Amino acid sequence: MMDADYAMYVWPCAPVLAQYLYYHRHFIKGKTILELGTGTALPSVVAAKCGAHIILSDVAHLINATTSCTLNGITDFQVANITWGQFSPAVLQLPKLDIVMASDCFYSLKDFEDILVTVNFLLQDKSAAVFWCTYQERDSDWSIEHLLNKWHLQCTHIPLSSFQADSPSVASSGLPGNHTIWMLQITTKK
């Protein structure tokens, strides 16, 4: 397990998404939420503590995520080995989803389209209403806009100030360089 303070500074996106979930805790209660690229499962842990049913997913090992859930007293969760851009039995057998979420999934440019292909399928096929994600801007030239159009998705930027009134420093980082965090809500085009 990682030290929580270390995780806050290295992966600031997960705490921002977790804070967004907590801010919307009354909305997510009773919802089925799939976390893509779960990692250490901080957003999923918060969602479960707020009464959501969670599904942890990653491409391979989910030991950190399941351990994190167990250590936080969460026993009601599912796991799914999902590879972005591939439609495996794990993807096809998912239950109806209310929310799909991910923190810092737009990390590597080579994965952007695979992520959005997966999100598009989940939003269309599993009746999920929304994809909530946070990401850290690493290069101002990187954009998902053309991929959103290609896969018939639309994006709304959610200002961090709209849900960080009590602790606005969650998205900040002590690391050198640009560490702007963005919160997005992606849905299918109507």
> In CATH, what number is assigned to the domain containing residue 143?
3.40.50.150
Q: How far apart are CA 11 and CA 181, in angstroms?
A: 10
pLDDT value of residue 6: 35
Q: How far apart are CA 72 and CA 164, in angstroms?
A: 24
Look over the chain and give the mean of its residue pLDDT values, rounded to a whole number: 82
pLDDT value of residue 1: 36
- Give Cα 174 to chain centroid, integer Å: 22
64-110 tens-digit pLDDT: 889 999 999 999 999 998 888 888 888 889 999 999 999 888 777 78
Is residue 32 within 8 A of residue 97, CB to CB? The reply is: yes
How many domains does the chain divide into?
1
37-67 tens-digit pLDDT: 888 899 999 999 999 999 999 876 788 889 9
The angle, 0 to 180 degrees and rounded to 10, between the axes of the packed helices 42-49 and 63-71 is 40
123-173 tens-digit pLDDT: 986 666 799 998 877 777 777 888 889 999 999 998 888 887 655 555 454
Domain housing 41: 4-188
Q: What letter represents residue 158's amino acid? A: I
Q: Say if residue 175's pLDDT is above 90.
A: no
* pTM, two decimal places: 0.84
Q: Which of 79, 89, 151, 157 is nearest to 115 (CA)?
A: 151
Is residue 6 within 8 A of residue 160, CB to CB? The reply is: no
- Predicted confidence band of residue 119 (pLDDT cuts 50, 70, 90): very high
Q: Which of 16, 19, 42, 10 is nearest to 171 (CA)?
A: 16
